[in-house]
A and B are shown apart, each in its own frame.
Chain A
Amino acid sequence: MTPKAIILTPDEVRRALTRIAHEIIERNKGAENLALIGVHTRGIPLARRLAEKLSALEGVDVPTGMLDITLYRDDLSEVAQQPIIRETQVPFDLRDRRVILVDDVLYTGRTVRAALDALIDLGRPAGIQLAVLVDRGHRELPIRADYVGKNLPTAASEVVKVKLQETDDVDSVELWDMEALR
């Protein structure tokens, strides 16, 4: 089976993240008092990579955390399968920090809504921004990303697969037909 299209190659993923890191610095006038929190699963390595880039560019260690949104999903009473709860780890105080929430794909916006609820229950950050590698459209909630690696218009029948070195041994973004994956 092959994907319908390769959207981002390893080099393009790297460049997209470098650009996002620059945009974060530009918008926040540096990297002081920032924190990067990745949403399980692929948001976590993306947050770590952005933190490394910010550190290289600004000489500031930006703390990173991981967030699991399972207990905050708005479809828990409807799901047919019990979602697995994973680890949430935010080992720093959120107060007075600008938090950048990081995820791989922005789609309906429901994951981000759940992540915002989960984050606010952990503390009261000075602000929350959203960074995603791919924005594929089809929003069901009024949510938009502050930093986007690639805007990708898609059909609902398509699947965007983000692969990362840390989780999949390769960096890429692929577009698949849902039918092909069944």
Chain B
Amino acid sequence: MNAPTSMGARPPHLLDFQDWTPERLKAILDNADTMLQVLDRPVKKVPALQGLTVCNAFFENSTRTRTSFELAARRMSADVLTFAAGASSVSKGESLRDTLEVLTSYKVDAYIVRHHAAGAAHLVARYSGKPVINAGDGRRAHPTQALLDAYTIRQEYGSLEGKKVAILGDVRHSRVARSNAELLPKLGAQVVLCGPATLLPPGLARMPGVTLTTDPKEAVRGAHAVMALRLQRERMSGGFLGSLQEYADTYQVNDTLLGEAESGAIVLHPGPMNRDLEISSDAADGPQSRILKQVENGQAIRMSVLYHLLVGRN
């Protein structure tokens, strides 16, 4: 028994939110408050994960998520092994499973995995026998990003209960949108996904607490948080958009569109931003923006996730 029964059994991994109860997810958010306090101190480190080795296995390029996880693990006193696929034998053709066997021989205690293929983190969880945190797999999931988004909203309003969150942009290619659509309703929020029909997979409307619209004003009307998604041009082989200008004219998160939202609604973006495309500089840098707060909160959330997954698992 790893935790009080009211939270349900603790899932061994954080791959998505399927096995996670709202109580456990709230506990992650609660403990992030403490982690933020740690980050605010002269000594920004606690010995909670001393003696453990965490492998940052990044099979896809990333700067902010990788550094955020690396710092989070170090702040918890874990040793960190960072593995970048571009500079490894993966580029020589080694399989994911063989790479894992090599890493396992280094006595790794947990894996943080980013991969361009959906389901890769599940595969690592299956073969490594150690806790795995999904740091983004294909278009499927990016749970810690969703947790830090939820945390940032909760920080503003005290609770997610009854809050409306509008997520605009390239929903089709966004693992962030999917994870948010899975997480936020579990915590009591309502999610509206919005974008051009070509970038809005209709299947997502089946998720509880999630609605879809192609009308940005309708999406943002009465929203407490408005999130712009990066237009993932590198994943688009063409045919999704008439033109970038047309997209920006309709779906850009800017002061005009924010006028439809609740007064003081916060602006979020998972980064990196295409300024003046999916979000205007005014909105990105304005008083409603919490984009830099998201980055700061990311480290605290990842510290909390590491604590939840690794501590008390003897």
Q: Which residues of A contact B (CB under 8 A)?
A: 68, 70-72, 76-83, 85, 87-88, 117, 120-123
Contact = CB atoms under 8 A, between A and B. Distances in A.
A81 B313 CA distance: 7
A77 B51 contact: yes
Nearest to B76: A71
B41 interface: yes
B308 interface: yes
Nearest to A124: B42
Contacts of A81: 1-3, 312
A82 B48 contact: no
B311 A88 contact: no
B159 interface: no
B48 A76 contact: yes
B130 to A, nearest CB: 14
B43 interface: yes
A85 B34 contact: yes
A77 B45 contact: no
Which secondary structure dominates where chain A touches chain B?
Answer: loop
Interface in B286-314: 307-308, 311-314
Nearest to B34: A85
Interface string B132-143: 000000000000
Question: 4 tightest CB-CB pairs across the interface, nearest first?
Answer: A82-B312, A71-B46, A121-B43, A71-B48
B314 A78 contact: yes
Given A77-B51, A123-B42, A82 B311 contact: yes
Given A80-B2, A117-B47, 7 more contacts: A71-B34, A71-B46, A77-B314, A85-B307, A121-B46, A122-B42, A122-B43
Contacts of A83: 311-312
Contact of A79 (B30, B37, B312): B312
Given A121-B45, A121-B46, A122-B41, A79 B311 contact: yes
Contacts of A88: 34, 37
A21 to B, nearest CB: 30
Contacts of B30: 85
A109 B270 CA distance: 45
A68 B37 CA distance: 12
Contacts of A72: 46-48
Contact of B1 (A68, A80, A85): A80
A86 to B, nearest CB: 8
A78 B48 CA distance: 11
Contacts of B48: 70-72, 76
